[in-house]
Structure 1
């Protein structure tokens, strides 16, 4: 693959090691090759020339690069090292070499090893001890795994051919070059270890599933020394039970081992251990009689399946607690970590609208899609839980969770669909960008935003440092010109598509959505909501609107309680500050509204952008007529009025920009110089009306000649799909661009939060 001019990336296998080479053609410059490491606490280069990536208390080490040239079939090594360009960027520093010949940079992976036998072998989890030794847990259908001489179970006990199987656990040194022990773990049925944890002494804790009636047990919890449930009539197979097993430090004996389940399906998915040797297990259960403690958070099965969280004593012979965790639909625990004091951090997924998050100020208070991830903390006695939904409109799954030294939690899993929380940045371009020089340069202005797609932007006309952004995750506000943002209205995967700040009372904000929204503290849904305290709280304000999509809200400055809302079924009007609305769409023919613009005449003149062209009303929206003479494309997406010239209107369409100087009677094409004619946003300098900004789906342009000529102004814009433009009326050289970042890449994507 070609990475840079004259630089190819070549991957291959070598002696069971995965390698890749960077091959430079003669004359190519090695100094231009670099890579970025995001999320590390610190990058450093040690005395040996290795790159050390500090991750909390852990380190990831990339060995010093091997650089050489070939001369007559022999390699001549070239002095080389890593070089830090900045706190996140690493480059290669190469000594003198013959630039007339190709150069090879070979960063070798330190090791890669196979483990398996003649059958199918699957590793499900791994853990490290304090010395960096590696513990691997999984399941196998192989009868000839390399079990060590002192293994607790040296032989395969699996049952049905290609159906049964045993769990296994193996311990390697920190280079995976020496196998300290490998043991099977299982009975005559199907057994799989899917989670592993290791304590400070090097003892391994395993959890997973079994349908074996003779799974190895020792010091089992009362009544959990055998499998539960009723075998299937034809096959004789029992429903799965979970198990929890602790091995001694050399894998030669059980410290304890117990079944964990009720009469139907029970599966453990993850395990953690605290400094006192207490094991914490999560998974899911379909059993109404899953083992639970008397004072547990939840003592009954809430739905078809619930997550469970179980804490065992250090001896493994009793519970500290065991609880269901779920609502009325399917809920699964998938990952668990433990903090000092015995606080268990759990992640998984839920389809329940009543999952017990127990937080009024949760990051996400309601279910957004078919299934959402969840994350939360269970107290040391298993009696109190606080958590949050975490998801978008699709199916989202939290699968693993870890903690850093400061107690911050990190979750990973998979997500699909739109509206999943995304923080704009290098990995997720998009969000808001700010220019202070009329668009010549742009800088990211998204710190604190929870999504990288901006659907609407509004600026306080009195205090221009106050901004509002509508995203897939609600309304965010900034009081410092976009330097940072805080959440003013949190919505679970609902687009805020329209914002209006009342110029006569800037604490009053109106927000329109695509789809119904449920603001915090409300019990009913709405698609137009109002705040009178700068976004601190919101009330429902859509009485009379029969649309699910609000695209634009405008106010008559001569009558501030008179508002107009553009929707997908026409225009609605309110004369009482959005308390009630009436349909004012006569003449629109049922067309949806993409944008509205208002001339503050008496009565006001309004223009509507539709899929059928531009419509105009001169009687406060009572009647509408089409004004499309000269419009070669009728899919109008955005409008702008020239200040001081109410008859001059610009219409951005899917195929070009058009201008009228006679209130829509005739239109002329103003697209010359616009490289992409799909117009999505327009803004006009209030003090220099011939200065126009045009946002497209592939960049941003500026004209200082009233649309006659255009130049591209994208310096610093990391995302080029422009959705909204607003200008600071008090300082018109300052403007803000809302952009559309990548919200989903197709199929399911990995997430890290």
Structure 2
């Protein structure tokens, strides 16, 4: 079911079958005065909303109490002033307790978490700066911020405050309690001297070394504190890059589950369901994946530790354990090859490319286009054209206007960027592959500009005159129809030209982001350079700004520029506020639009057969001669950010989206069940609550179509509550 307002960020269940969801907002009309920001929502076992309690402050986590009450940890500022709010069974605030010294770091996702014991005591974990709190373990030097644990008794009085940390930054990101009142804390440490107990599974810092100011060395940590406040165990765990534990739960058998996120390719796996992170080669330094593991009750032995994810980035956010000791994790995944098992939704419902042949009345998904996002589209000019699509997983070709696709295996597993097809010799194809690596650190395979003479079956580098940096950063390729062999590229933000089909290059002094060539004059080149459009009439040797300032974008963002091959003086430019058209080769402009500004430029295309122009930004518009919309059509299943057309057939590349996932492991680490969760727009699963045979998941979605039973129509900006019955 959907609920209007913000996404669900935390979930808890009580012994009576009620479910509590912490939501960013709620604006329903089914209860009197049911409007709040943020809110604690209570649903009964039948799924009926019982109350929407206003928190009135930034809220982070929620837990159910033993007496029908619920607890929320929140803060009055973005950096601190943390408090715990108790909400009674009717939705009224019973009391609030201030938690001193806890800090918040929204930019680094450092939020406090909460758990409630069977006796009604509240435990809050996070990070704190304090010279007066008890150090739970000896440390050489207390850092600027340490992991913090605070307990509040059933009457609302703070009873204990303790710190765990070394000389660097340490923070707790989740807390849990078991039936005996033992406390389990998990998070991350940047301290080489993080204090660990003698029998810890990992006692020393890993081989992590900081590679840039935005990449810190971090290991996950987990600690158990008994009901008397004594540390039972504390251990760190991780590989050579960033590892963070974001969730912890204890099972009834004494085991401790820990789940989180890792960019380490060498995360230490043990009896793993997935032994490697499945990272594509273009993330040579590290990759964003998740992990799930289980310690024994002493913290000295690892029952299992496994990666979880496909070839695209994934992020884990929630963990729950059912009474049988099975663990359930949720999060978001950007790709369509996330590992699934017995899945009610085996794919993520995101379609990278759609095609229509009837003006948008019906749409078809391109079959066999196994990619997460389409970067560029290029057509061969012939009676039965071939259309090429460059993607994050390689180059694909279609001979039926995008209905079915085949991979050009010579570029398999490469991220392919700009592409172009020779307008006079269709077998000649150009493609760029970017340099592989993370933020230019520890790069993998070098990028290059490539040329194929056989329709993309084999490739040869063409980079004489291009620096290694430039050849790995080609953003635009434009070919001259009137003079075969003349071509222009934007590489590393600069314009280069070749007069011999790419064998040799000149230029590199003038800046630009996209290019187009007059189809009747190979020396006349147009370039966008935000917020301007400029022209060269001598083969990119010199440039002139068009119409004094050219079409200026509201946010200084100018995208693709195209020339109508049937009317060569007609230009179209995509702006962040709409589109601009020139009828006189760029000397004057018209047809601006101010609708739909979100900072990114519209994509534009011209059908070379019909001369129709198209603009795409979430929806697609066919444009008339004045630049205003003559017709608009939308694929309800996706947001559009790339458009191309040929003979009335329109291809639409969709915005890269993500889906939620739900995965179950047994105590030995076997994957029992795993599914995508989401629809045709971005969806994330943020929290999960497990019972015997049934789990509840909450999150948020922008999907217009969602394969969720009894979901009903999605309100704008929706959270959701999903219930799964787990197959035996």
- TM-score, normalised to structure 1, is 0.51
Provide the residue aligned with 2:526 in structure 1.
Answer: 609
Contact 2:126 2:171 in 1 (8 A): yes
Structure label with greater radius of gyration: 1
Provide the residue aligned with 2:173 in structure 1.
Answer: 269
1:226-268 residue CA offsets vs partner (Å, 9 max, x unmatched): 654468xxxxxx96654557889899999x9976334666443
1:398-440 residue CA offsets vs partner (Å, 9 max, x unmatched): 895456989664459xxxxxxx9799xxxxx998664322467
1:173-205 residue CA offsets vs partner (Å, 9 max, x unmatched): 4335586x999999xx99999432246786755
1:283-342 residue CA offsets vs partner (Å, 9 max, x unmatched): 4353524215667457226467634311438788665661154757xx684731449775
Distance (whole Å) between structure 1 residues aligned to residue 630 and residue 315 of structure 2 = 42
Q: 1:375 to 1:502 in 2, by over 3 A?
A: farther
Contact 1:681 1:725 in 2 (8 A): yes
Any residues of structure 2 matched to 1:615-626 within 5 Å, and which?
Answer: 615=536
Distance (whole Å) between structure 1 residues aligned to residue 355 and residue 572 of structure 2 = 22
Q: Does 1:345 align with 2:256?
A: no
Contact 2:436 2:446 in 1 (8 A): no
Provide the residue aligned with 2:604 in structure 1.
Answer: 681
Quote the offset at 1:609 in angstroms: 1.6
| Structure 2 counterpart of 1:306, from 210, 218, 227 | 218
Provide the residue aligned with 1:336 in structure 2.
Answer: 247
Quote the offset at 1:702 in angstroms: 4.4
Quote the offset at 1:443 in angstroms: 8.9
Quote the offset at 1:344 in angstroms: 1.6
Distance (whole Å) between structure 1 residues aligned to residue 99 and residue 622 of structure 2 = 69
Q: 1:607 to 1:675 in 2, by over 3 A?
A: same
| Structure 2 counterpart of 1:736, from 625, 648, 651 | 651
| Structure 1 counterpart of 2:494, from 558, 563, 569 | 569
Any residues of structure 2 matched to 1:156-171 within 5 Å, and which?
Answer: none
1:686-745 residue CA offsets vs partner (Å, 9 max, x unmatched): 3xx4x42243889866479xx5997522132789998653224xxx332024588999xx
Q: Does 1:195 align with 2:113?
A: yes
Contact 1:657 1:679 in 2 (8 A): no
Distance (whole Å) between structure 2 residues aligned to residue 356 and residue 324 of structure 1 = 8
Distance (whole Å) between structure 2 residues aligned to residue 200 and residue 532 of structure 1 = 72
1:540-593 residue CA offsets vs partner (Å, 9 max, x unmatched): 8756424375343357999999975344433344968x7xx52145xx984647
1:6-58 residue CA offsets vs partner (Å, 9 max, x unmatched): xxxxxxxxxxxxxxxxxxxxxxxxxxxx9857989xxxxxxxxxxx99989xx
Q: 1:287 to 1:522 in 2, by over 3 A?
A: closer
Distance (whole Å) between structure 2 residues aligned to residue 253 and residue 215 of structure 1 = 12
Contact 1:229 1:239 in 2 (8 A): no
Q: 1:722 to 1:734 in 2, by over 3 A?
A: same
Any residues of structure 2 matched to 1:112-151 within 5 Å, and which?
Answer: 112=54, 125-129=61-65, 132-136=68-72
Provide the residue aligned with 1:27 in structure 2.
Answer: none
Q: Does 1:652 align with 2:572?
A: yes
Helix, strand or coil: the match of 1:437? coil
Aligned length: 559
Provide the residue aligned with 1:377 in structure 2.
Answer: 292
1:379-403 residue CA offsets vs partner (Å, 9 max, x unmatched): 54458463789999xxxx9895456
Q: 1:274 to 1:752 in 2, by over 3 A?
A: same
Q: 1:648 to 1:721 in 2, by over 3 A?
A: farther
**More RCO (CA 8 Å, sep 6+):** 2
Contact 1:526 1:542 in 2 (8 A): no
Q: 1:35 to 1:634 in 2, by over 3 A?
A: closer
Distance (whole Å) between structure 2 residues aligned to residue 245 and residue 518 of structure 1 = 38
Q: 1:733 to 1:108 in 2, by over 3 A?
A: same
Distance (whole Å) between structure 1 residues aligned to residue 645 and residue 360 of structure 2 = 11
Provide the residue aligned with 1:361 in structure 2.
Answer: 278
- TM-score, normalised to structure 2, is 0.52
Contact 2:390 2:417 in 1 (8 A): no
Distance (whole Å) between structure 2 residues aligned to residue 609 and residue 269 of structure 1 = 52
Quote the offset at 1:279 in angstroms: 2.4
Quote the offset at 1:269 in angstroms: 3.5
Provide the residue aligned with 2:474 in structure 1.
Answer: 550
1:322-366 residue CA offsets vs partner (Å, 9 max, x unmatched): 1154757xx684731449775421259x9x999999945248975
Helix, strand or coil: the match of 1:523? coil
Provide the residue aligned with 2:341 in structure 1.
Answer: none
Q: 1:207 to 1:697 in 2, by over 3 A?
A: closer
Contact 2:394 2:408 in 1 (8 A): yes
Q: 1:502 to 1:401 in 2, by over 3 A?
A: farther
Contact 1:134 1:172 in 2 (8 A): yes
Provide the residue aligned with 1:291 in structure 2.
Answer: 196
- Name the Cα RMSD after superposition: 7.2
| Structure 1 counterpart of 2:515, from 595, 615, 622 | 595
Distance (whole Å) between structure 1 residues aligned to residue 7 and residue 455 of structure 2 = 34
Quote the offset at 1:468 in angstroms: 2.5
Distance (whole Å) between structure 1 residues aligned to residue 58 and residue 627 of structure 2 = 63
| Structure 1 counterpart of 2:236, from 302, 311, 323 | 323
* Structure 2: runs of 5+ lacking an equivalent: 9-17, 34-47, 105-110, 210-215, 270-274, 296-300, 337-349, 553-558, 596-600, 659-682, 687-728
Contact 2:247 2:319 in 1 (8 A): yes
Quote the offset at 1:128 in angstroms: 1.8
| Structure 2 counterpart of 1:582, from 491, 500, 504 | 504
Provide the residue aligned with 1:279 in structure 2.
Answer: 184
Q: 1:639 to 1:323 in 2, by over 3 A?
A: same
Distance (whole Å) between structure 2 residues aligned to residue 701 and residue 172 of structure 1 = 50
Quote the offset at 1:475 in angstroms: 6.5
Provide the residue aligned with 2:631 in structure 1.
Answer: 713
Contact 2:623 2:630 in 1 (8 A): no
Q: 1:174 to 1:540 in 2, by over 3 A?
A: farther
Quote the offset at 1:648 in angstroms: 4.7
Contact 1:607 1:616 in 2 (8 A): yes
Helix, strand or coil: the match of 2:632? coil
1:130-175 residue CA offsets vs partner (Å, 9 max, x unmatched): 77532356899xxxxxxxxxxxxxxxxxxxxxxx99x987765433
Helix, strand or coil: the match of 2:189? strand
Contact 2:495 2:512 in 1 (8 A): yes
